[in-house]
Structure 1
Amino acid sequence: MRVPLRASAAVLAVTAAGAALTAPAYAAERRETTVTTNSSPVKGVVESVVRVKVPLPKAVGPHPAACDWLSYLRFRDVHGPASSAKADRILVAQPGILEGAGAFDSVARNTITAAAAKGKHLEFWALDRRSNCLDDTTGVLAGLAAKDPHVAVDYYYRKKRVDGRVFAGYQSNDQVKWLQNVGLEQTVRDEYDLLRAELPDQKLRKRKVLCGGHSLGGTLTGFFAEWDFDGNPATTADAGYNQCAGYFALDTRVATSLMGMGDFPKEMVPLLQFGAGAVKAGLESGVVPRTVSGPALINAETMNLLAIAGLAARVAPSGRSDLATYIPSSFNTDTTYRLLFSKDFATFIAGTPTIADFRFTNAAALGALLDDDSQPLAFLQASVGFFSGGPVVDKDFPVPNEMILSGNGAWKSLLGTERKAIPATPDGPQYGWQNYDAVKNVPKAKDGQPFTTPAKEVTDIAELARSLSEHPLDFTEHYFPTRIVTDIALAGAPGVADGAVHKNGITANPVINLEAGDGLGTRHPEPGDVIAPGYQHLDVLTAAPRQNGGRPEPISTNLAAFATKP
């Protein structure tokens, strides 16, 4: 997920990065692979969790043993070769900020299926970053097996054991000190080491691997393309661009500027004016958060709440949601609910009515959390349908709808493009959810226009719920390292991105830009870009294979066509 430019600035105002970390030579010690079970309606795709042990350098500092492994979800055509090296192409995807491998579930399956229809066998590797090793999916997976979201809540909030394990709690800033040393260099080197472990033949990688990502993953791919991994720019077999046959960008750009959307305006963040040295000191002292997080809305707990909400919508979509009452009250959860479910500023200040005063189905609760007609933050939006079962009104918090519709680029980056709606009647009817392909009789906003139309809805809420809750590697990333973002913002400083020396790396290979029509990556469209109308930032990953009106899903269809070119 891409944090909008203005939101990124706010984060960076209290964050910093240190000098580049010199990583050791590649060494893979062990490899483990486990075929997963799934309930996806898209058949013909085999999914596995692959883990390769590539220890972090000692200079990173003490860290959990699990973080010495690189992990990814491997999706492949069931009729394709068992060996990755024999696939026609392998797409390797970097996630965005606060995003894990599970977020690529739908686009991976849809792309593989589209290619298989043409007789081509693709693989899609959805990468996890090192920091995802800290995510604990035990409770969510146990709740899925029991078909009871309370099992997950009890694990995370009531110290209930699952298979003898007790949740250790969400990690504090002091507990993730090692992440101050996991920045841009370590991240691109991890991708390089993983590719060498899984596909040892560099010439094969150059022929068959397509490198890309979603959101910030486009920026990471840009740096990967320019990086020199052996420290000798004169030898180019190790250069990032020589590990890839081409690039793909999902609502982003393959570039080396923050978010792939132009140079980062450092004047917006006074701390960055002091340079990498001050940034490094800020991280080492602990004054600066070592992960991108806040006291509410964006932190490890709230990212995990999305998985729990997805679990509830997965196992009992029409059941009444009680997560707002069953999850214990805290400043974090209460403030998050107020930020997300206040009708206007007065409601936010008064704190009433609260989300607990409304009756939702589990599907409606998930829709309220992530749908573009409800969720206020653009980088967390998908187009999954609309409320049903009761009256709704304009949601004028954090800003009135007319400001969102003004066309101002800053508002689009932060809040998206759609009118926001909220249920109108506390202690009233039970609000349900109309799925993306069943939207009808949508009420009108105060400007006289319907809140949404079928053309604006593209993601199946049941599949979104499944992707959030079914994967051993999470959809979200609970502990995104601040160091990655600040390294990118300060890439020109000595010792930060010294390895990015092959300035022709991005232009050395063909690229396809696949953009959400209402997303964050279409500020500067270029000839040949694929623009998916009505899509939001997450929809490029989550859209259903068959769209309203019978149209094939454009992102995966065009990505498959690009991947299968001779």
Structure 2
Amino acid sequence: MKTKITILTLIVLTALGVPTGHRAQGTVQVAYERHVLPSYVEPNTPGAPGVAVDPALAAAITDPAAFDADGSLNLNKAIYVRFLDRNRTAPPEAILIHIPGPVAGSNSFGFVASEILRLSGGRFEVWAVDRRSNLMEDLMPMIAAENANTLTASQATINAYLNNPAGAGGYLSSHPFAASSFMAEWGVDVMMRDVKTVVDQARTITPSVFLCGHSLGAVLAEIFAGYNFGGGVAGFQLIKGLIILDGTAAPGAPGVAPISDDVYFNGGAGPAGDVVGLNQLRSPTAPEHAPFLVEPFNPLLFQLVEIGCQLALLDPDGPSVLRQVVPTFVPVPATNAAAIGMNIDDEFQSEIFARFSIGFLRVPSGGSATDVATRTDDPSSANPNGLWRPKDLGSTLQQWDARKDLSSIGLAGPEVSDFNTVVRSFLLGAGNQTTAIGDTNSLEWYFPNRLVTDVSKLIDLGKTPLSAQAIAAMTARGDNPLMLTENKKVNVPLLAIRTTEGGFVPSNLAFLLYRQSTSIPQNKVSVFTMNNYAHVDVLYSVEKRSSPGSMNVPELISNYIQSNQ
């Protein structure tokens, strides 16, 4: 089960899976600890006064941190994982707080966090946020598999998730509407107040607090900076600077406009795809009205992917175990490693927010990519190589080749992330498979749909005022309206980093539009482009491919903090 609140879990850098060439120098040893703090009391959430708790829901939650001392379920909590130097006795000089992107957990930033600690000599800490839905993940079977570290245990864990008595994937996965009464309200306001809880905690240690976000997390970081928390306090006043990684709002960009009230209430097309309406979230009548993401990914798939990543490390060349369970996930005979690669590599994964550059299917000597896969166009145009579908090679298993350069098989560009580093990060905590402790994982099983609905309403960062009808709907169940009123006053230094193959920030113009919507001086803005990076490579690659500067992302962040603390 997960560790209790504030209990240290000290893991040296080698256990974090950082490649040998990037280990800490001198006395720096990276450790992490999970903290769960009392946070904003959302009035419809278990733990709020007068809220009745579904006994089946409470029974399905295995995280001790989700329960108060009296044994009652309380999900009104903020969560962060603190990456720190185990050997440092003095307080950190600066703390970087990270907001993850969609379906991402705190451990998705673990690799970058470790590198930042190493580069700073332990002077900086990184606190990675988990959304409160993390408390509902049943990681106990996964922990058992990692502690046993055997193929038999991995198969047993797959069976445990598939054959859960409450339904495949567990109670919430099979009964998503059981969380609708409260998750329907877990939108931007709840997220902002949880992040503020973490920021306030960091400020008790040092005034040098920086806020970072990746993907949708970058937009949430921008929203936090301009958020009005009442009492004359705006988010930007609580931080020293802002870092946005391959994501941004771009007020004024052609076609970028908040969703209408009708779409906000009843669902429809949003700036990045369809959104679920507030009325649908509160009174669901169809599967897509679930309070958390169920398409194109879902909690059961996330559970199986985490086990699949362990299998890819334990038995990379063995036949895919997942193919027997989710044949749509592994459509052709393949190895355990190839099963993962063909689902997260940027030549194969259609969803741009889930793409890494980690190699390609193994091609026979002297052959080309077309020998093992079929090319189609990439609808997002993010990857110049297009998208590929693996071919059925009959009795021959598709294998994964973690090659760093695709030119010899007829494709363009290097692969900038390390396959094993990426796959290991999907495991729990340190991902070392021998002392698994369920502090943190890279995936977020229950990503709140309300968050996307609210962000779609705020995509111009408050430039369009909320209507009286929208405010009435937001507050109908006792919550706050969205209070993004201070964006124009934001004046903290900005570090903006985009990828050339990420798809979310097609040019630096988007960063310019964001800056113009604020009061950030031009001389306080640093913009870098990571060449050949896919969207998630910014969290895993140490390749020095920035323009300008020829640096990697941890170096850019460390230099920025050093200059602005």
Q: Fold conserved (TM > 0.5)?
A: yes
Q: Say if 2:187 and 2:451, in contact at 8 Å, map to a contact too.
A: yes
Matches within 5 A, 1:216-255: 216-229=216-229, 231-232=230-231, 235=232, 238-253=233-248, 255=249
Q: Aligned to 2:120, what secondary structure does the other structure show? A: helix
> Equivalents in 2 of 1:59, 1:433: separation in Å?
47
Which of 357, 362, 371 is equivalent to 1:383? 357
> Equivalents in 2 of 1:93, 1:183: separation in Å?
18
Aligned match of 2:309:
310
> Equivalents in 2 of 1:487, 1:432: separation in Å?
42
Code of the residue aligned with 1:70 in structure 2: it is A
> Equivalents in 2 of 1:484, 1:562: separation in Å?
29
Code of the residue aligned with 1:53 in structure 2: it is P
CA shift in 2, pair 1:553/1:476, >3 Å: farther
Q: Say if 1:106 and 1:544, in contact at 8 Å, map to a contact too.
A: no
Is 1:195 the counterpart of 2:195? The answer is no
Q: Deviation of residue 479 (structure 1)?
A: 1.5
Is 1:172 the counterpart of 2:189? The answer is no
Q: Deviation of residue 298 (structure 1)?
A: 1.6
> Equivalents in 1 of 2:52, 2:198: separation in Å?
22
Code of the residue aligned with 1:493 in structure 2: it is L
> Equivalents in 1 of 2:494, 2:418: separation in Å?
28
> Equivalents in 2 of 1:280, 1:377: separation in Å?
25
Matches within 5 A, 1:238-277: 238-253=233-248, 255=249, 263-264=256-257, 266=259, 271-272=263-264
Which of 489, 492, 496 is equivalent to 1:513? 496
Code of the residue aligned with 2:163 in structure 1: it is R
Matches within 5 A, 1:22-421: 31-37=5-11, 38-41=15-18, 42-43=23-24, 44-54=29-39, 56-60=41-45, 61-62=51-52, 65=73, 67-81=75-89, 86-116=91-121, 121-148=123-150, 149-159=154-164, 168=171, 170-177=173-180, 178-200=182-204, 204-205=206-207, 208-229=208-229, 231-232=230-231, 235=232, 238-253=233-248, 255=249, 263-264=256-257, 266=259, 271-272=263-264, 279-287=277-285, 289-294=289-294, 297-325=296-324, 327=325, 333-334=326-327, 336-337=328-329, 354-355=331-332, 358=333, 360-388=334-362, 390=364, 392-393=369-370, 401=376, 403-404=377-378, 411-412=380-381, 416-421=383-388
Deviations 1:407-457 (A, max 9, x none): xxx6236xx4433334434323233322244x46743xxxxxx1344xx21
Q: Deviation of residue 192 (structure 1)?
A: 0.7
Deviations 1:33-83 (A, max 9, x none): 33154342344311222222336333335565262332222112344346x
Q: Deviation of residue 91 (structure 1)?
A: 0.7
> Equivalents in 2 of 1:312, 1:275: separation in Å?
39
Is 1:499 the counterpart of 2:483? The answer is yes
CA shift in 2, pair 1:114/1:307, >3 Å: same
Deviations 1:164-200 (A, max 9, x none): xx95462523111110011110100011122223433
Query: Which consecutive residues of structure 2, in runs of 5 or more, have no partner in the other structure?
Result: 46-50, 59-72, 269-275, 430-437, 459-464, 475-480, 513-524
> Equivalents in 2 of 1:292, 1:396: separation in Å?
33
Code of the residue aligned with 1:243 in structure 2: it is L
CA shift in 2, pair 1:211/1:171, >3 Å: farther
> Equivalents in 2 of 1:530, 1:464: separation in Å?
23
> Equivalents in 1 of 2:345, 2:534: separation in Å?
9
Q: Aligned to 1:530, what secondary structure does the other structure show? A: strand
Q: Aligned to 2:425, what secondary structure does the other structure show? A: helix
Q: Deviation of residue 467 (structure 1)?
A: 0.5
Aligned match of 2:61:
none
Is 1:533 the counterpart of 2:503? The answer is no
> Equivalents in 1 of 2:371, 2:291: separation in Å?
34
Aligned match of 1:27:
none
Q: Deviation of residue 321 (structure 1)?
A: 2.0
Q: Say if 1:35 and 1:46, in contact at 8 Å, map to a contact too.
A: yes
> Equivalents in 2 of 1:49, 1:285: separation in Å?
34
Is 1:451 the counterpart of 2:442? The answer is no
Code of the residue aligned with 2:222 in structure 1: it is G
| TM-score (structure 2 length as normaliser) | 0.74
Q: Aligned to 2:177, what secondary structure does the other structure show? A: coil
- The share of aligned pairs that are identical, in percent, is 21
Greater relative CO, 1 or 2 (CA 8 Å, sep 6+): 1
Q: Deviation of residue 387 (structure 1)?
A: 1.6
